[in-house]
Amino acid sequence: MADANPPAPPTTPPWETKRPPRARGLLRRGLLLIAACAAIALVFQALRPQPIEVEVETVRRGPLTVHVSEEGKTRIRNRYVVVAPVGGSMQRVDLKPGDPVKAGETILTRIEPGLAPLLDARSRAQAQARVDAATAARNGALESLEMMRTALKYADANWNRIKNNTDPGTVSATDRDSFQREAEMKAREVRGADFSVQVAEFELAQAQAALLQQDSPAEKGAMIEVRAPVSGLVLRVQQESATIMTPGSPILEIGDPADLEIEAEILSRDTVGIPPNAEVVVNQWGGEPLKGRVRRIEPAAFTKVSALGVEEQRVLVLIDLLGAPPELKALGDRFRVEVQVAVWHSDETLLVPSGALFREGSEWRSFVMDAGKARAVTVRAGRTDGRLTQVLEGLRAGDEVLVHPPDTVEDGSAVVRRTDAH
């Protein structure tokens, strides 16, 4: 007799291999253990401090020049103010600033002198003394011109001898530059002395004209022509309209814009460190940097109030331009420039980027990269040009220092070199 209730079908498919219950439990625990270990590793890695990316530079040896930067102004070296030689009615001046004039030929204006007053013995003696003084000044200017020409001849001879010497190692580059600079400076001095002679002759002519005017009273309608004493350009017209002039009243100003120099008002504490004939770099004038040299440092300082209202003692430093590139013609009188005067130079010294140094109390400190760690060291710093600083103690050539380290870097912090992404 068959059973009324047949047996239930098995829950496990016949094709699945039967596993022992213990083996399945061990596998499940192993997977859970691996997952827990991975989670712990991830948490540990997340909590572990990461190395700080830093910029690294190498301490090296090289040249260093320290400059004093200041604003300056160009000015014409020799300028001359033409004044009225006699009193009277002056005609209108037709010249404008920038017009060229030629010595002894260009008529600046005409003056109809008034009636000459009667002269007593004292006035006549004074007029004659002015003529004698002008004569002596002209003779002195002529002698100075001859001395300058002799010095120029000697400097040119030395420069030609050095220039034609092609044997290597015979003359150093510094001596060659010195002889060349000496020849250029003597040529400028001859030019200035010749300018002084022209001025002295014009002043003598004025004194003689005044004496003649006093000796023979002018007739009605007689005109005195005021001619240019030197060649150059009109810089400024001080009296343009027709008017009644008194003797010695300024009419206009003449100068040679090709003969430029630079004046810079430098702080007195910085001027003390400027050596004689210091090298100068002229920037911010509208073209490529120019080379110059300090010619004179005036001995007296003056007080100037800065934009912040601080009183400063400044000294006028005069600078000569070396060479005359074609672009220099664009410069005129009283143009603004920026000068960098060399106050100290070393051909080879230990250098570190200034951004690698920071103050800690009264000492300079720096971080050195050592096997992936930042190690703080004390540095004795010397002179600096703002970009590089001289190292006297604390660092050696080849040391890798951290430049502009972030505030999170401390002594012993893990650091890694920053790589620029390209």
| Domain assignment of residue 294, given as a range | 66-74+258-344
- The answer to the question of residue 123 being in a domain is yes
Residues 114, 204, single domain; the answer is yes
State the Cα–Cα distance between residues 3 and 8, nearest whole angstrom.
13
Among the three residues 344, 378, 407, which one is the final residue of a domain in this structure?
Answer: 344
Answer yes or no: do 103 and 241 share one domain.
Answer: yes
Mean pLDDT over all residues of the chain?
83
- Supply the pLDDT for residue 414: 87
Contacts of 54 (CB under 8 A, 6+ apart): 367, 369, 374, 402, 403, 405, 406, 409, 415, 416, 417, 418
Total domains, the chain: 3
Same domain, 232 and 312: no
The tens digit of pLDDT for each residue in 131-154 reads 888 888 888 888 888 888 888 888
Q: Is residue 41 part of a domain?
A: no
Within a domain: 48: no
Q: Is the pLDDT of residue 58 over 90?
A: yes
By the 8 A CB rule, do 282 and 108 touch?
no
Domain edge (last residue) among 236, 255, 274: 255
The residue that leads in pLDDT, 33 or 214, is 33
In a domain, 8, yes or no: no
Residues 385 and 286 in one domain: no
CATH of the domain at 265: 2.40.30.170
Same domain flag for 296 and 380: no
pLDDT at 40: 77
Which pLDDT score is estimated for 5?
Answer: 60
Are 329 and 287 contacting, i.e. CB atoms less than 8 angstroms apart? no
What letters, b where the CB count within 10 A reaches 16 and e where it falls short, cover 315-325? bbbbbbbbeee
Query: What CATH number is attached to the domain comprising 377?
Result: 2.40.420.20
Half-sphere exposure of 143 (CA within 13 A, CB side): 6
**Do 394 and 304 fall within a single domain?**
no
CATH of the domain at 210: 2.40.50.100
Same domain flag for 114 and 157? yes
Q: Write the pLDDT tens digit of every residue in 401-420.
A: 999 998 888 888 888 888 75
Q: Mark whether 283 and 319 lie in a shared domain.
A: yes
- Kindly state whether residue 2 falls inside one of the protein's structural domains: no
Report the share of the chain in percent with pLDDT over 90. Answer: 39
pTM for the structure as a whole: 0.59
Q: Find the mean pLDDT for residues 257-270.
A: 91
Q: 344, 366, 393 — which closes off a domain?
A: 344
pLDDT tens, residue by residue, 78-102: 888 999 988 889 999 999 999 999 9
In which band, very low, low, confident or very high, does the pLDDT at 194 lie, cut at 50, 70 and 90? confident
